[in-house]
Structure 1
Amino acid sequence: MLQKHNAEAHMIQYRNGLHCTARILKTEGIKGLYRGATPSFVGIAVEGSLFFGIYSQTKVYLQGGVQSGEPRPQVIIPSAAFSGAIISFVLGPTDLIKCRMQIQGTDSLVPKSSRYSSPLDCALKTVKAEGVKGIFRGGCATLLRESIGNVVFFSVYEYVRYHMHSNIKANSSNHRNLVDIGVGIASGGLGGVAFWLTVLPLDVAKTLIQTNPDKNCPRNPFGVLSSGWIEGVLYSLGATVSRAFPANAATIVAWELALKMLGIKRD
């Protein structure tokens, strides 16, 4: 919301994330905060399953099936980039539906007759108006965001995790569990912050491309970034980074806990 409305003319201007939240609550109520949540939940569920599975299996393949304790860039970088590229094909359509559902609630330029009644309605109307390729609008920006961002994310995560485990000794299994959770929170949270600090401009470009009412609008993210994007980055930076740490910390802790419960050994 901050990316779209503060990066284009004739839109509602939000001073910060708190101002945006307060205005949504005032005009739409609590349900306004969850507008577009359904495609996000679906996208995240599919993304998480594919993402970590592809990353882990690609790492195993590149390591020749041999586990190595110390992180290796020649393994992490291609594994992260490949998994990010694959999931971008899932995230592209779900992000488009989410963004379009979110902006219509406060966008005075969208007449009520043209608003979407549900995520499915949004998807069907998009395909009808723009064809199947319309649902993948912003795909290039999404692919770049996920490939580049996840290289940064996993590089930070793997190195922070390795060095923290190397320097923290646990004297019992209970302490080990607490250490694992603490390391997961720190490494996942820092990885998430690094991800968004790196690719936030690409995310702003993606949002502007996906929500542009002109179906023939420019699709090159770098062309979009050449003008009018800095406001979207600056206004959404605080909200994005403050969300990144807890969200990614929780994701990593859940992933590592699932691996432990399934008896899958980590490096």
Structure 2
Amino acid sequence: MEDAAKDYAAGFAAGVSTVIVGHPFDTVKVKLQTQNTEVNTVRYRNAAHCILLILKSEGLKGFYKGASSSFVGVALESSVLFGAYSQMRSALQGREGGEPELFSIVPAAAVGGACISMILCPTELVKCRLQVQVSGGGTSSVCAQRYDGPLDCLRKTIKTNGVKGVFRGGFSTMLRECTGNSFFFTTYEFSRHRMLRALECLDDVNSETHSWKRYLRGQSHSKIMMEGAVDTLSGGLAGMVFWAVVFPFDVAKTRIQTALDPGSSRNPFHNLRMIHGELGMRGLYAGLGPTLARAFPANAAAMVTWELTAKLLGVRRKEH
């Protein structure tokens, strides 16, 4: 029970670091995904143009719209995801360390993704609706609601559409999280394991004849730095793989959650067909650039924080 609490605490810390690093990129992504719709009539030439318009109309604070709901949502989400993943993987694999195993990683990641969908859906709905809203009144076009903050958005959504309204886009969120996290943790665990093994082998080769290797072996802080570099690369790569695989589901989710008509389709596959019919493949990947730009630093920060926090708490396994 104590180890489980530590797993969840490490995940919470990872979530906080994710928002700090990644939220500005996420704002740009949401703006691009909702451009040229009834909720956002602005048409952006590219991500750079979107960034310039945000800076011009709203300043730096415009990049952190909806961040307060993200801090709560992402921190809780990360706590549940990493905690559930760690506990289930440990139960399935039945031992610490050794070669990563797909049969334990994939189901553990998928279950973790399903668990967090119920947390992510309402917090992302609030975040997305605040992100497409511009300063000075209304949203980018004719939105019937003007939100004064996350709580006001939540209150008005429940008043207008009931409690079920805050779970709009839930199926799309679950598809994204179950699929994406299976790819994420598989990429992370295998790439981290291989890189750590490679460093270990490199350190063993002719170690007695290289003074710099003898020096590094005696410096615990150097080992921590090398492991941190591995966690950075593995986490960043895993984050990019996550989004490259599931991005169309995220586009559909964003459209569903920011739609002005509460009666519009919530079926992600129907929305994907509509988007493809209107904009082609380009529409299915609108905002992918800033998302991938965000994915590497945000997920690198998350995984470094996760590994370091868990190690400080004494719960992270040795993989090599």
Preserved contact between residue 15 and residue 235 of structure 1 (Cα < 8 Å): no
Q: Deviations over 1:39-91 (max 9, x none)?
A: 11111111111111110000111123x22410111000000000011011100
Which moves more between the two structures, 102-111 or 92-101? 102-111
Q: From 131, 144, 153, give the equivalent of 2:184.
A: 153
Q: How does 1:90-169 map to 2 (within 5 A)?
A: 90-105=119-134, 107-110=139-142, 114-169=145-200
Bigger radius of gyration? 2
Contact persistence 1:7–1:231 (CA under 8 A) = no
Q: Which residue of 1 aligns with 2:62?
A: 32
Deviates more, 1:102-111 or 1:11-20: 102-111
Match of 1:181 among 207, 211, 228: 228
AA partner of residue 19 (structure 1): H
When residues 261 and 202 of structure 1 are mapped into structure 2, their CA distance, relative to the original with a 3 A threshold, is same
The CA deviation at 1:6 is 4.8
> Distance between the aligned counterparts of 1:187 and 1:29, measured in 2?
33
2:47, 2:40 → 1: CA distance?
A: 19
The aligned residue for residue 271 of structure 2 is 224
Taking a change above 3 Å as real, the CA distance of residues 132 and 178 of structure 1, as seen in their structure-2 partners, is same
Partner Cα separation in structure 1 for residue 157 and residue 37 of structure 2: 23
Q: Quickly say closer, same or farther: Cα 1:255–1:20, change in 2 above 3 A.
A: same
Number of residue pairs matched by the alignment: 265
**2:114 is equivalent to residue 82 of structure 1:** no
Moved more, 229-238 or 241-250: 229-238
TM-score, normalised to structure 2, is: 0.79
Tell me the residue number matched to 2:302: 251
Task: Work out the CA distance in 2 between the residues paired with 1:211 and 1:78.
Answer: 31
User: Structure 1: which 5+ runs fail to align?
Assistant: none
What is the CA–CA distance in structure 2 between the aligned matches of 1:60 and 1:136, rounded to whole Å?
A: 31
For the residues of structure 2 that align with 1:146 and 1:224, how far apart are their CA atoms? 18
Q: Cα RMSD (Å) of the superposition?
A: 1.7
Query: What SS does the corresponding residue of 1:259 show, helix, strand or coil?
Result: helix
Farther off after superposition, 204-213 or 44-53:
44-53
Could you tell me the TM-score, scaled by structure 1's length?
Answer: 0.94
1:13 is aligned to 2:43: yes
Aligned equivalents of 2:191, 2:105: Cα separation in 1: 13
Structure 2: gaps spanning 5 or more residues = 1-30, 204-216
Matched residues, percent identical?
49
CA shift for structure 1 position 175: 2.6
Q: 1:174 to 1:10 in 2, by over 3 A?
A: closer
Task: Tell whether 2:257 aligns with 1:210.
Answer: yes
Tell whether the 8 Å contact from 2:235 to 2:302 is kept in structure 1 after alignment. yes
Q: What residue identity is the alignment partner of 1:29?
A: G
Instruction: Report the counterpart of residue 3 of structure 2 in structure 1.
Output: none
Contact 1:96–1:210 (CA under 8 A) maintained in structure 2: yes
After superposition, where does 1:68-79 map in structure 2 within 5 Å? 68-79=97-108
Q: For the residues of structure 2 that align with 1:46 and 1:89, how far apart are their CA atoms?
A: 11
Worse-superposed segment, 178-187 or 1-10: 1-10
Residues 13-35 of structure 1, C-alpha deviations (whole Å, 9 max, x = no match): 11121111111111222222221
Structure 1 residue ranges, 4+ long, deviating more than 3 angstroms after superposition: 6-10, 229-235
Q: Distance in 1 between matches of 2:90 and 2:242?
A: 23
Instruction: Give 3-state SS (helix, strand or coil) of 2:34's partner.
Output: helix
